[in-house]
Amino acid sequence: MSEKKGLIARAIEAYLRTGGPDQPGRDSEERELDGRHYVVLRNSRGFLAAYRLEGDGGLRRLGEWPDALNSKAE
């Protein structure tokens, strides 16, 4: 399993553990913006949650996120 998939899997676990009502799908992705790493969870209905990778390797769920994360990377 690649590190990327590991981060996405960790974000999905955190999302579901906190009572996320929808199941994240295959559109979930890892993104890098301005030197920061993010995991964006999506499903067929759209955006679910965003997490930022912290310096200690932990994931932090964001209440607000950069606008660029709202659309899927190309």
Residue range 33-67, pLDDT digits in tens: 999 999 999 999 999 999 999 999 899 999 999 99
pLDDT band for position 2 (cuts 50, 70, 90): very low
Task: Tell which residue, 54, 58, 50, 59, has the closest CA to residue 24.
Answer: 50
From the list 69, 51, 71, the residue with the least C-alpha distance to 61 is 51
Domain boundaries, the chain: 3-64
Q: Residue 62 has which token pair? A: 């964001």
pLDDT digit string, tens, across residues 15-41 = 999 988 899 999 999 999 999 999 999
pLDDT for position 17? 93
